[in-house]
Amino acid sequence: MSWDLQWGKPGDHTPIDVHEMDLPLANLGQGLAGATLAVISDLHYGRFARDGYAARVVREVMDRRPDVICLLGDLINGQSSEAARCAKVLAGLSAPFGIFAVLGNHEYYGGWRAAARAYRDIGVELLLNEHRVLERGGAAMVLAGIDDHRRGRPDIAAALAGADGSLPVVLLSHNPDEAEEIPAAARVDIMLSGHTHGGQIVLFGHPAMTRIEHRQYWRGWMQGPRCRVYTSRGVGFVGLPIRLNARAEIPIFRLAQKT
């Protein structure tokens, strides 16, 4: 058996899987087919991840020139002072459709308003139970985001209020447990999440550090009751500067028409 082990403060030596894959969406117009969506989750800037590693993550994303960038929460480790420093590095991100974020539980540990202010100062749109419509070439889709499952007040119905029901919907939620809370009346095609670190330490195929109620969502693709869910392994560390069989990940999704 091989063991994929990374330990110590993350830096240029830390392996990161830039995982490119198709994201099939029903009713996706031709104008958006081929557009790319990059995900950054769980950086946990502060205790272990500092400027150098955050800048590395930014470079990995910008080298792929995505059309939209989604930040799935826990970008900071939990101190309000971390938010401005982290945002200063993340200011190197840019995308034609914009950069969108949701809050994670660790933003709440440090005072979510400081994080929200820092993200907005660098042009990141924070989606707190709201959505935006992305358009290109006569095609459109809905990108929605909800508050943190544990510490916030997530409201999927509010996030989708007023959205055109014929358009494809991608929902951003830091915690994948929220997949079990999607109301029957809500139209969601795909939910993108983080929070779990892919287990961070995985022994014999079992995650050791996954703090979610519905453990089937611990990493990768899973079918939820209302939609498919992708849980990113994220890029940072929490608790211990160790990843075992749970390599850091930056997913890059290529929008495709579902057949």
Does 75 map to a domain?
A: yes
Q: 121: helix, coil or strand?
A: helix
C-alpha span between 195 and 178 (Å, rounded) = 12
C-alpha span between 112 and 156 (Å, rounded) = 19
Instruction: State which residues form the domain around 107.
Output: 16-257
14's tokens: 């830390």
Does 177 map to a domain?
A: yes
C-alpha span between 163 and 66 (Å, rounded) = 24
Prediction pTM value: 0.96
What is the rounded (10 degree) CA torsion for 92, 95, 100, 101?
-30
Does 221 map to a domain?
A: yes
Does 6 map to a domain?
A: no
214 contacts 182 by C-beta, under 8 angstroms: no
Does 198 map to a domain?
A: yes
In the predicted model, what is the mean pLDDT of the chain? Answer: 95
C-alpha span between 128 and 110 (Å, rounded) = 17
Supply the pLDDT for residue 209: 79
| Residue 26: count of CB within 10 angstroms of its CB | 13
Supply the pLDDT for residue 210: 80
C-alpha span between 179 and 181 (Å, rounded) = 5
Does 67 map to a domain?
A: yes
C-alpha span between 126 and 119 (Å, rounded) = 7
Supply the pLDDT for residue 110: 81
Per-residue pLDDT of the chain (259 residues; tens, 9 = 90+): 468 888 888 888 889 999 999 999 999 999 999 999 999 999 999 989 999 999 999 999 999 999 999 999 999 998 889 999 999 999 999 999 999 999 999 999 988 999 999 999 999 999 999 999 999 999 999 999 999 998 999 999 999 999 999 999 999 999 999 999 999 999 999 999 999 999 999 998 899 878 899 999 999 999 999 999 999 999 999 988 999 999 999 999 999 999 8
**How many domains does the structure of the chain reveal?**
1
Does 10 map to a domain?
A: no
Looking up residue 69, the CATH number of its domain turns out to be 3.60.21.10
Supply the pLDDT for residue 6: 86
Does 4 map to a domain?
A: no
